[in-house]
């Protein structure tokens, strides 16, 4: 258009939102394919070669594309905001930015706009129980993958006497008392600093006392990092959470036996497991898994592996913690109570779980 300079602010924002959405879809697709490949009953040289190529070449490429899309989306949103400010100055009219940004950087915004965010006061690193699998209380966000991954890493670091040091290095307060926290996350093994407000969304993760803690800050930082909304962490795999927290490559295995899981724990690895995925009626050709067999286990869900031990009957069992908390709960459309704490024999475990995620914390 002759004489037109600048940009259509509305179109920029629509494009930014679309790019962000496609970034999330690519990440989800990458994780989904990785999970299916890991759990496929395929052994041998060709299988190992294919999986190695996927994990070393193809998956990192997809994640790089998704990250670039997300960065471009943020650049577009920033350009739209700058254009709005410039237009406002030239016209002399107030802009929405002058009145206060409804979703400033570091603020993913509440899940429910009618429920304000909850302050997270003081030094969140001082809570001795935060991160303990028995202390985690997942809220209304579908981020069991994140909480199980964070909880398994925290549990392992604590057992090694390294959790306090880790938090001191990865959680930096801004202000005294802190008004923000700078969280060091990792993308493809490289550190990324994400600064978020010292707040937690209503319906976010809490401790056993009902209060937000450092996991609430990590949850907020993950939401900001993955797209700027709590919706962006609704769904994923624990291996992603482990890599996000530690910067180390996480293993994604199919259904392992309890001896193998025990070996991982003894070697200083953080371990979480995933239940069978509920069949998708629209894609029966794609999903070849049945639902879980036990009524007290949540389908399509991640659990922290607490221990592998021998019970009083002389059977080896795996001890699992549900991110919902020790009291468990029920799904909205399922009246059966889901356990918060599980001790399963090899058969019970294999009847309900099909994925193992682990990362070295040494």
Phi, psi at residue 147, to the nearest 5°? -70, -40
Domain identity same for 216 and 336: yes
CB 254: neighbour CB atoms within 10 A?
16
What sign for the dihedral angle of Cα 77, 81, 87, 91?
positive
| CA–CA distance, 41 with 145 (Å, rounded to integer) | 23
Q: What is the pLDDT of residue 40?
A: 83
State whether 259 and 359 are in the same domain: yes
- Name residues whose C-beta falls within 8 Å of residue 202's C-beta, 6 or more positions apart in sequence: 110, 111, 112, 115, 116, 117, 118
pLDDT of amino acid 333: 75
pLDDT attached to residue 112: 84
What does the CA dihedral 130, 237, 319, 141 come to, rounded to 10 degrees? 50
> What's residue 10's pLDDT?
67
Closest CA to 39 of 282, 302, 278, 274: 274
Residues 6+ apart with CB under 8 A from 89: none
> How many structural domains is the chain composed of?
2
The whole-number pLDDT of residue 347 equals 95
Residues 212 and 290 in one domain: yes
What DSSP state is assigned to residue 47? H
Residues 49 and 194 in one domain: no
Whole domain around residue 51: which residue ranges? 9-87
Helix spans in 92-126 (H):
none
Residue 107 lies in a domain: no
Domain with residue 16: its CATH number is 1.10.287
Q: Average pLDDT per run of 10 along the chain, which is 362 residues long?
A: 55 74 74 78 83 78 78 74 59 39 65 89 93 94 96 97 96 94 95 95 95 96 93 92 96 92 97 71 39 87 96 94 94 87 95 94 90
* Whole-number Cα distances in Å, 230 to 123, 137, 270: 23, 16, 25
DSSP 161: T
Domain boundary residue, one of 66, 87, 108: 87
In a domain, 111, yes or no: no
Residue 290's pLDDT is what? 47
In this prediction, residue 67 carries a pLDDT of: 73
Q: Which long-range contacts (CB under 8 A, 24 or more apart) does 276-282 make?
A: 276/300, 276/352, 276/353, 276/354, 277/354
pLDDT, residue 104, reads: 56
Is this prediction's pTM over 0.85?
no
Q: Are residues 131 and 81 in the same domain?
A: no
Same domain, 82 and 153: no
Tally of CB atoms within 10 A around 290: 14
Does 3 fall in a domain? no
Same domain for 75 and 123 = no
């Amino acid at each position: 258009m002759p004489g037109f300079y600048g940009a259509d602010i509305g179109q920029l924002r629509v494009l930014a939102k679309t790019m962000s959405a496609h970034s999330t879809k690519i990440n989800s697709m990458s994780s989904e394919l990785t999970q299916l490949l890991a759990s496929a009953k395929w052994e041998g040289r060709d299988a190992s070669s294919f999986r190695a190529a996927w994990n070393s070449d193809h998956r990192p490429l997809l994640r790089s594309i998704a990250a670039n899309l997300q960065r471009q989306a943020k650049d577009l949103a920033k350009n739209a905001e700058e254009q709005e400010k410039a237009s406002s100055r030239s016209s002399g009219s107030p802009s929405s930015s002058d009145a206060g940004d409804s979703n400033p950087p570091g603020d993913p915004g509440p899940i429910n706009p009618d429920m304000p965010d909850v302050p997270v006061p003081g030094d969140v690193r001082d809570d001795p129980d935060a991160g303990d699998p028995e202390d985690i209380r997942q809220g209304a966000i579908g981020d069991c993958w994140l909480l199980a991954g964070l909880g398994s890493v925290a549990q392992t670091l604590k057992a090694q006497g390294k959790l306090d040091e880790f938090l001191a290095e990865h959680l930096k307060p801004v202000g005294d008392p802190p008004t923000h926290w700078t969280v060091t996350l990792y993308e493809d093994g490289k550190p990324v600093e994400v600064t978020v407000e010292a707040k937690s969304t209503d319906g976010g993760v809490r401790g056993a006392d009902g209060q937000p803690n450092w996991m609430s800050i990590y949850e907020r930082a993950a939401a900001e990092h993955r797209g700027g909304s709590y919706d962006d962490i609704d769904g994923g795999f624990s291996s992603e959470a482990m890599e996000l927290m530690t910067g180390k490559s996480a293993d994604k295995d199919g259904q392992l036996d309890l001896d193998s899981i025990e070996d991982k724990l003894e070697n200083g690895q953080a371990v979480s497991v995933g239940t069978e995925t509920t069949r998708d009626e629209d894609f029966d050709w794609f999903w070849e898994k049945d639902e879980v067999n036990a009524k007290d286990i949540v389908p399509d869900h991640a659990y922290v592996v607490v221990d592998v031990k021998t019970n009083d009957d002389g059977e080896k069992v795996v001890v699992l913690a549900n991110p919902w908390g020790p009291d468990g709960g029920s799904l909205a459309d399922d009246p059966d109570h889901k356990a918060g704490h599980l001790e399963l024999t090899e058969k019970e475990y294999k009847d309900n779980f099909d994925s193992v995620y682990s990362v070295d914390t040494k």
